[in-house]
Chain A
Amino acid sequence: MPELAADARVPRSVRVLCAALIVVTATTVWVGSGHPGAFGAAGASATLVVVGFAKAWAIGWWFMEVGSAPRVLRGLLAVWAGGFATACAVLVLR
């Protein structure tokens, strides 16, 4: 099998992110299946929502390569994730 060119390899940051997303997904499934812990029901829901948006931001940053894009695009992704996460968390916690 021919050796791949260096550029064809998936960056280490992406592989680490994949592993982290699997761990976070497993943890959130456990919390979301009746183990809210000290958060309480509303607190757990809000936390799960915020974690969901954090995962979305990470996918945008590394998978969609926004991290190496101009500042305006990085800012728009952050505003989207941060803004909607905050709004949803506040509404859930009412």
Chain B
Amino acid sequence: MSTEPVLGEPTFLWDDDPPAPSPSPGPAPARGPTDEERTGVPAEPGLWIFVLGDMTIFGVFFVVFAHYLGEDRAALKASASALHQQIGAVNTLVLLASSYFMVRALHAYRAGSARLRADLGFVLVGGAVFLTAKVAEYALVLADGHRPGTELFFTLYFAVTGVHLLHVLIGMALVARWRAVSLRGRSGRIFAEGVAVYWHMVDLLWVVIFNLVYLGATT
């Protein structure tokens, strides 16, 4: 276990572990259970309210999309054929790889391994590749004359992929923050696990978006 000091983190949702009391003479008091030992929940319960709420909002979108797909399959299929499935497939594999490196990063963090920074770097590279591919895909779709508001499919497509892209950017900012903190010391457990959970949520939502919007509508 690393003895490096715990550095401060943003307090949004996952406030850091409370600081250890200053040493005092006499026998050390018995250590109480940590939050994780008490609840068994990765990061903290409050984060999961946010994560599950976010997932539910996306879930409602998925239901809306499925409703229109069942109602007028021919129209959605005609629009969806203009999508670039290969880019979506590449982005699915890129996010999967980045999730793998995030698992590695969290295990490295818990073991106090210096591999943490490299793993977080790979996660950031994955996010950057996803971002670049998504911007390229938007450019291709717009160049073909498809815009939000002109076709139902592309209104839904730009809405859900746009909001998801915002989640990717937020996730990258959090990963970059974790990596920056790790260069100077050791970040708090709740922050580290919170960033990991958030990044995996980004991956989780994308696999449904890909199967529903890119594949389900074109079959």
A residues neighboring B (CB under 8 Å): 4-10, 14, 18, 21-22, 25, 28-29, 31-34, 36, 41-42, 44-46, 48-49, 51-53, 55-56, 59-60, 63-66, 68-70, 73, 76, 80, 83-84, 87-89, 91-94
Contacts and interface: CB of A to CB of B under 8 A. Distances in A.
30 contacts: A4-B111, A8-B113, A25-B96, A29-B85, A32-B85, A32-B219, A33-B85, A34-B218, A41-B219, A42-B70, A42-B73, A46-B216, A49-B208, A52-B210, A55-B208, A59-B203, A59-B204, A63-B99, A64-B196, A64-B201, A73-B48, A80-B59, A84-B62, A87-B63, A87-B66, A91-B67, A91-B69, A92-B66, A92-B69, A92-B216
Given A25-B93, A51-B211, A70 B40 contact: yes
Given A33-B85, A65-B42, A73-B41, A88 B204 contact: no
Given A64-B204, A70-B39, A48 B62 contact: no
A52 B212 CA distance: 7
Interface string B114-158: 010000000000000000000000000000000000000000000
Interface string B190-219: 000000110011011101101110111111
Contacts of A76: 48, 52
B96 A18 contact: yes
Interface of B: 39-42, 48, 52, 55-56, 59, 62-63, 65-67, 69-71, 73, 77, 85, 89, 92-93, 96, 99-100, 102-104, 107-108, 110-113, 115, 196-197, 200-201, 203-205, 207-208, 210-212, 214-219
